[in-house]
Structure 1
Amino acid sequence: MVMMMRMVMMMMVMMMMMMVMMMMMRVMMMMVMMRVRMMRVMRIVVMMMMRRMRVRMMRMRVMMMRVMMMMMMVMRMRMVMRMVMMMRMMRMTRMVMRVMMMMMMMRRMVMRVMMMMMMMRMMMRMVMRVMMMMMMMRM
């Protein structure tokens, strides 16, 4: 009878132990599953975040590229404007130079003509003098 009681007690204890073990196992499994699930979720979230970040980065890059392009365009425009201004200035100076050259040429021409006139006058005078001398001699 005592043996039976002991056996029953032992069985009960064993059953309790088994139950506790099973509970522990279940809890452990639940924990592991939770962890796996959490890992998966975290991975998905991280992937999403990365994607967002990548998209943002791409957008930023595109924006930067656009800004750079705009800056380059502005720089180029400035350069072109400067070149055009320089060309205009050069043209103006060229025009002025041409006019100056024309003036110089005109002056030279005038000088030459004046010289020619002077020479002609001198020659005329000389001839007149010679003629006068001849006339005098004849007389």
Structure 2
Amino acid sequence: MTQDHGTTEELFEPLQQLGYEEDWVSTHQSKELLVVVLVFVAVVVVVVEVVIVVVVVVVMVVVVVVLVVVVLLVAVVVIVVVVVVVVVVFVAVVVVVVVVFVAVVVVVVEVVIVVVVVVVIVVVVLVVAVLLVAVVVVVAVVVVVAVVVVVFVVVVVVVAVAIVVAVVW
């Protein structure tokens, strides 16, 4: 089913009738030149496509790197902000706890001081009272003994005087 188009000279007959003079060698050279030009164009197209692909890949890599850097910077900023907030809150809580602890310690110390002072006062009063009672008891005993001795001596003297007076008289 193939058609025979004839020789190259037969193909160029219509051109020759129009005044176009072409011999077989120059036609063959034209075909070779056409093939060379087509191959050159194909190579140029491939090189341009490769350059375009490389440029697109480089741009994509740069965009991805920039996005990664931006995301990392944002992440670092967020981490720093979170750390600063946590540290500030922690310090505030520690300060509040320390202040409350100091207040509680001060109150406890004041209560202990008051209790100690009251206990000391009560003990001193009790000791003084006991000592006073003891002194009073001792003085009372001494006074009673002295009175008894004086009365006994007076009675003995009176009786002796009475006996002497009775004997002498």
Q: TM-score, normalised by structure 2?
A: 0.73
Kindly state the Cα deviation for residue 19 of structure 1 after the two structures are TM-superposed.
2.0
Separation in 1 of the partners of 2:117 and 2:49? 97
How many residue pairs get aligned? The number is 139
Instruction: Please say which structure displays the higher CA radius of gyration.
Output: 2
Kindly state the Cα deviation for residue 138 of structure 1 after the two structures are TM-superposed.
0.8
The structure showing larger relative contact order (alpha-carbon pairs under 8 Å, at least 6 residues apart) is: 2
Separation in 1 of the partners of 2:133 and 2:70? 90
- What whole-Å deviation, never above 9, does each CA across 1:48-95 have from its counterpart, x for those lacking one? 123212222222223223213312331332133123212212212221
Matched, 1:42 2:71: yes
Counterpart in 2 of 1:14? Answer: 43
Counterpart in 2 of 1:92? Answer: 122
Post-superposition, which runs of at least 4 consecutive aligned residues in structure 1 deviate over 6 A? none
Counterpart in 1 of 2:133? Answer: 103
Kindly state the Cα deviation for residue 104 of structure 1 after the two structures are TM-superposed.
1.4
Matched, 1:56 2:80: no
Counterpart in 1 of 2:23? Answer: none
Separation in 2 of the partners of 1:123 and 1:103? 29
Code of the aligned partner of 2:117: M
Q: 1:4 pairs with 2, 17, 33, which one?
A: 33
SS in 1 for 2:51: helix
Q: TM-score, normalised by structure 1?
A: 0.87
Counterpart in 2 of 1:66? Answer: 96
Kindly state the Cα deviation for residue 15 of structure 1 after the two structures are TM-superposed.
2.0
Code of the aligned partner of 1:135: V
Separation in 1 of the partners of 2:125 and 2:44? 116
| Residue ranges of structure 2 left out of the alignment (5+ in a row) | 1-29
Code of the aligned partner of 1:118: V
Matched, 1:30 2:30: no
Counterpart in 1 of 2:12? Answer: none
